[in-house]
Amino acid sequence: MQEQLDAARSSLIDVPDDDEYGLADQYREEVEFLEGLAEKPLPENDERKVAYIRAAYRFDECGMGNILDIRGVTEAQREFAAAPASPEAIQAIIGHVRPTAAEARKIAFGLNETLGRAECLYFHVYDDDNDAPTQICFVGNTVD
């Protein structure tokens, strides 16, 4: 939170005197919003904590740069959503469709080449003794 607030204050200070684009008003709004948010205690509930952190980054066009930029799950690749990796893509990378934890990194590198900015894919990871997946692996690109 403090990092976001410091950045907003710094941007406000750096606005040129002629401010032909009205940046001072934009940065002033951002500083006021973040100061109000900083006065609130961090929520106890995990879902509300995520909402609080997302709110702190709402003015940052680059997002947070982590999994919290993902807003939901979808069937097809799109920005700010996690989509399932296709079995065909996994098959092409490792030769089968039941990846182990040891194979996850190889799959992640292979899938990453297909991603645009702010896109995310996920796939299930299995251990040898279990028919059900034991993990979910996410691979994605940040906004910036």
Q: Are 98 and 72 in contact (CB under 8 A)?
A: no
**Average pLDDT in the 89-114 region?**
94
pTM: 0.70
* One domain for residues 28 and 53: yes
- In tens, the pLDDT along 11-54 reads 888 888 888 888 889 889 999 999 999 999 989 998 899 888 88
- CA–CA distance, 123 with 20 (Å, rounded to integer): 48
Q: Which domain holds residue 88?
A: 69-140
Please report which confidence band the pLDDT of residue 111 belongs to, taking 50, 70 and 90 as the band edges: very high
Domains identified in the chain, total number = 2
* One domain for residues 136 and 74: yes
C-alpha torsion sign, points 57, 58, 60, 62: positive
* One domain for residues 114 and 74: yes
* One domain for residues 85 and 132: yes
* One domain for residues 124 and 93: yes
